[in-house]
Amino acid sequence: MNEAEKFLQEHLAKAQRPQPSAPQVQTTPFASGAQNDSAAVVGKQQMVSMGEAFKRFWVNWSLNGRSSRSEFWFAVLANFILGFPIGIGIAVIGVIVPALAEVADILFSLLILWPGIAIVVRRLHDIGKSGWWYWISLIPFVGCLILLIFMCRASEPYENRYGPVPNVR
């Protein structure tokens, strides 16, 4: 057996040995130099289920932290699905007792106001924007469109000043 065959057999034997598995580290192309170590994310960002997003919407009223795109949009969808029959119920009540319908409408709007603001602010944090960008929605037509575009952007794939990447498992 010549040297080349020995080398090949040793190399194949090494390749067939089980290697210890290390956690996969994803880095972002945006990170550079000193940021690269803190920008590493272990694992992969997971999508949140609609039920989990709905629960987080009603439980987490904090303006701190980040909310992923799936958490935000599933919460919006779940609240739309829930709000539709509530709206029909309020409309039916409005036919019978208009004053009661107005009170119910105001109460429902107030109930959903703070959690709605909180999840939008956390979503803005997720894309690296300050929560103060929420005020852009006060600009007629254009402001809401800009905010909608922000809500559709992907999460920053690394830890930013608002916290770690959400839903990493």
- For the stretch 154-169, pLDDT in tens is 999 999 999 999 987 7
pLDDT digits (tens, 9 = 90+) for 35-92: 444 445 556 788 899 999 999 999 999 999 999 999 999 999 999 999 999 999 999 9
| pLDDT score at 65 | 94
Domain assignment present for residue 67? The answer is yes
Domain assignment present for residue 25? The answer is no
| pLDDT score at 7 | 65
Helix, strand, or coil (residue 25): strand
User: What is the extent of the structural domain holding 135?
Assistant: 46-152
Domain assignment present for residue 162? The answer is no
Distance (Å, rounded) from C-alpha 125 to C-alpha 128? 5
Distance (Å, rounded) from C-alpha 90 to C-alpha 105? 7
Comparing 26-30, 76-80, 134-138, the range with the smallest average pLDDT is 26-30
Domain assignment present for residue 63? The answer is yes
Place of tokens 């029959």: 85
pLDDT-above-70 percentage for the chain: 76
| pLDDT score at 168 | 78
Domain assignment present for residue 41? The answer is no
Q: Give, in order, the Cα–Cα distances in Å from 49 to each of 1, 5, 56, 77, 101.
A: 60, 54, 11, 11, 33
Question: What is the pLDDT of the chain when averaged over all its residues?
Answer: 83
Domain assignment present for residue 39? The answer is no
Q: Give, in order, the Cα–Cα distances in Å from 64 to each of 5, 24, 27, 119.
A: 62, 28, 24, 10
| pLDDT score at 30 | 39
Domain assignment present for residue 161? The answer is no
Backbone φ and ψ for 39, nearest 5 degrees, come out as -85, -10
- Single pTM value for the model: 0.72
Distance (Å, rounded) from C-alpha 85 to C-alpha 108? 12
Give the residue-averaged pLDDT of 95-120.
Answer: 93
Comparing 34-48, 101-115, 121-135, the range with the smallest average pLDDT is 34-48
The residue that leads in pLDDT, 167 or 149, is 149
Domain assignment present for residue 15? The answer is no
Place of tokens 């972002």: 28
| pLDDT score at 8 | 59
Q: Provide the 8-state DSSP code for 132.
A: G
The residue that leads in pLDDT, 5 or 112, is 112
Domain count across the chain: 1
| pLDDT score at 44 | 77
